[in-house]
Amino acid sequence: MPRDIIIDTDPGQDDAIAILLALASPELNVLGITAVAGNVPLALTQKNARIVCELAGRPDTLVFAGCDAPLKRKLVTAEHVHGKTGLDGPQLADPTMPLQDRHAVDWIIDTCRAAAPDSITLCPLGPLTNIATALTRAPEIKQAIAEIVLMGGGYFEGGNITPTAEFNIYVDPEAADIVFSAGLPLTAMPLDMTHKALTTKPRIDAFRALGTRVGDMTAAWTDFFERFDMEKYGSEGAPLHDPTVIAYLIQPDLFTGRHINVEIETQSDLTLGMTVADWWRVTDRAPNCMFMGDLDAEGFYALLADRLARYS
């Protein structure tokens, strides 16, 4: 039986590749995609989500627009990484598939209320505003949530938007705090791990060699944001953050981490949005998160190429 998932996302080229990976994987049943403001404003993230579904040949996918701003703060965006549209690279046509007319948070709540216990996996790939709003407004939906697997945070690697904060957590730290303290099974894919999932030239060439539209777009997208990251980190490629969430659902043995306590800094100006990870277990704070530290990068890229090859 495929696992029912909801992808909550702010596409973003790496979000887009995560969506393509999910829609090509028979182990997963994408109940819907909920867009949130993050890399770019909501009007663009919901549109980009639909562009990606159409690229995947899946215009039947339910796409909802959610929160357009963080819970308590002004939206911070990342056009400097993802470009003006959030999905810069070769231009793609505007989507014709519909945006669902319900608010994403209402749909998440109703879907979870109607679901069997422990039957839905939430996959947040952006700021946690939609998920935190749903959990706050309808705490009873927790019964339906088997697990939350998210991309966010960083500890040993520091931050990518401030010296101590990773983008998704920094944009809405109050929402992150709600999710990390919800008492649900939680797995985080932090920068400590995603910075080892680098898009080297042979790996991008493998996408291009598929000779399909999906292969070409994936290669072009990684080429686009790679420019920024290679300059920033001096690395041989860019980290492909968000697809690690989906890969983990399909092949968890590609990843290793520790079940530890992780708290979100919401007060300090200097370290706002930091994921304070008790990696060495030096406190008696209860573990609340499987915090990943490493991955088999070759295995991850092999899985990605294998699944993307399923698009004709």
Q: Which residues pair with 262 in a beta bridge?
A: 277
* Among 12-20, 50-58, 88-96, 266-274, the segment contacting ligand BDR (CB under 6 A): 12-20
- Minimum CB–partner distance for residue 152 and ligand BDR (Å): 7
Q: Which residues pair with 121 in a beta bridge?
A: 5, 147
- Nearest CB to ligand BDR, comparing residues 195 and 203: 195
Burial class of residue 290 in the structure, from the number of CB atoms within 10 Å of its CB (0-12 exposed, 13-18 middle, 19+ buried) = buried
According to CB under 6 A, which one of 81, 264, 295, 303 is a site residue for ligand BDR? 81
Q: Which residues pair with 257 in a beta bridge?
A: 292
- Nearest CB to Ca ion, comparing residues 210 and 245: 245
Rounded Cα gap, residues 283 and 260, in angstroms: 10
Judged by CB under 6 A, does residue 78 bind ligand BDR?
A: yes
Q: Which residues are catalytic?
A: 241
Instruction: Name the residue with tokens 């996302």.
Output: 9
- Could you write out the DSSP letters of every residue in 105-133? HHHHHHHHHTSPTT-EEEEE-S-SHHHHH
Do the beta carbons of residue 52 and residue 10 sit within 8 Å? no
* Among 9-17, 181-189, 210-218, 293-301, the segment contacting ligand BDR (CB under 6 A): 9-17
- Nearest CB to ligand BDR, comparing residues 86 and 95: 86
Judged by CB under 6 A, does residue 39 bind ligand BDR?
A: yes
- Minimum CB–partner distance for residue 138 and ligand BDR (Å): 25
According to CB under 6 A, which one of 177, 226, 242, 263 is a site residue for ligand BDR? 242
Residue 4 binding: pick among Ca ion, ligand BDR, none (C-beta 5-8 Å cut-off by kind): none
3-state helix, strand, coil in the chain (%, to 5): 40, 20, 45
Of 32, 268, 248, 18, the C-alpha closest to 134 is: 32
Q: Classify 53 as helix, strand or coil.
A: helix
Judged by CB under 6 A, does residue 150 bind ligand BDR?
A: no
Judged by CB under 6 A, does residue 151 bind ligand BDR?
A: yes
- Nearest CB to ligand BDR, comparing residues 23 and 81: 81
